[in-house]
Each structure stands twice: as structure tokens, then as C-alpha cells.
């Protein structure tokens, strides 16, 4: 017989108990942090295998998955390049912003 997986509801009593990502989401909604960016990630769909790793690793939750494709939200992407670093097919290229 297989054992039923236990799930636990996490309750944060104060902001200090929250993970950094969860805390920063609140301020992100008010500040479009994408203005800080000097380089931007661009996805080459011809090479993308739709694995979602970029979505998992983005520290700013700035990648959405739309119809299985990663779509960068440039209003909030800070251009850290982690998605490009972690992409297994190297199909994310960081290009200089033109301002």
C-alpha cells in the first residue's frame, strides 16, 4: 500500500517569518523594478524545450509560462541573468537595453 503524502499549510505570523521572495512580492507590485535593468533576457523559442527551469529559478518571479512558453515580464525583470545561466539549452540571451 502506498503511503499518502502529507501536506502542511504554512502560516506566517509576521513579515519576518516570510521567505525573502514572498516578502519582496508585496513591494514589487508597487514598484516596477524592471526600470533598474541594463541588460534584458530574450528567449529563442527555436531552441527552447519548454522545461520551465527559467521560471523556477527567476528570483523576481518575472517569468510567466504562457501556452507552455516562458514569457518575461519586463516590468519586473531586473536583468540578473540567472535564467540565462540556468537554461539547459542556453536559449536565453542577455542583450543590452536600449534606453
Tell me how far, at minimum, the Cβ of 17 lies from ligand SF4, in Å.
25
Distance between CA 53 and CA 85 in Å, rounded?
10
Tell me how far, at minimum, the Cβ of 22 lies from ligand SF4, in Å.
16
Nearer to ligand SF4, 17 or 89 (CB): 89
Nearer to ligand SF4, 18 or 86 (CB): 86
> Can you tell me whether residue 64 is helix, strand or coil?
strand
Cell of 22: 514572498
- The HSE-up count of residue 10 (CA atoms within 13 Å, CB side) is 6
Nearer to ligand SF4, 18 or 82 (CB): 82
Tell me how far, at minimum, the Cβ of 3 lies from ligand SF4, in Å.
32
Cell of 46: 527555436
- Asked if 32 contacts 74 with a C-beta cutoff of 8 angstroms, the reply is no
Which residues sit at the interface with ligand SF4, rule CB under 6 A?
41, 43, 48-54, 58, 60, 62-63, 70, 72, 77-83, 87-89, 91-92
Nearer to ligand SF4, 26 or 81 (CB): 81
Amino acid at each position: 500500500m502506498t503511503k499518502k503524502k502529507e501536506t502542511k499549510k504554512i502560516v506566517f505570523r509576521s513579515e519576518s517569518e516570510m521567505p525573502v521572495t514572498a516578502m519582496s512580492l508585496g513591494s514589487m507590485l508597487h514598484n516596477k523594478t524592471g526600470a533598474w535593468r541594463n541588460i534584458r533576457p530574450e528567449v529563442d523559442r527555436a531552441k527552447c524545450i519548454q522545461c520551465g527551469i527559467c521560471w523556477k529559478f527567476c528570483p523576481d518571479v518575472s517569468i510567466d509560462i504562457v501556452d507552455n512558453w516562458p514569457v518575461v515580464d519586463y516590468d519586473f525583470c531586473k536583468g540578473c541573468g540567472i535564467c540565462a545561466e540556468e537554461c539547459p539549452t542556453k536559449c536565453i540571451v542577455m542583450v543590452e537595453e536600449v534606453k
